[in-house]
């Protein structure tokens, strides 16, 4: 009976440890998701910059073509 009592007394502590571990795991997963999103954002910014450069080049060629006519 004493063993059962001791086990019952440990349950709140075990529950807290489990909750902490679950939060820790969720935090780790969220950090990984944030890293992935940051990587994707960096790639999108790079593609956007490349697109803007290309657009500027097209506009320059258009202006040159107009002036040469």
Q: What pTM was computed for the model?
A: 0.63
Q: How far apart are CA 35 and CA 32, in angstroms?
A: 5
User: How confident is the model at residue 5, as a pLDDT?
Assistant: 65
Confidence of residue 4 (pLDDT cuts 50, 70, 90): low
Quick one: which of 58, 12, 1, 33 has its CA closest to 50? 58
User: How confident is the model at residue 54, as a pLDDT?
Assistant: 95
- pLDDT higher than threshold 80 for residue 1: no
pLDDT, tens only, 5-64: 666 677 788 888 889 899 999 999 999 999 999 999 999 999 999 999 999 999 999 999
């Amino acid at each position: 009976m004493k063993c059962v009592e001791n086990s019952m007394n440990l349950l709140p502590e075990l529950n807290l440890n489990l909750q902490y571990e679950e939060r820790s795991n969720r935090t780790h997963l969220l950090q990984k998701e944030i890293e992935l999103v940051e990587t994707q954002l960096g790639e999108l910014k790079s593609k956007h910059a490349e697109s803007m450069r290309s657009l500027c080049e097209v506009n320059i060629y258009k202006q040159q073509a107009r002036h040469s006519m």
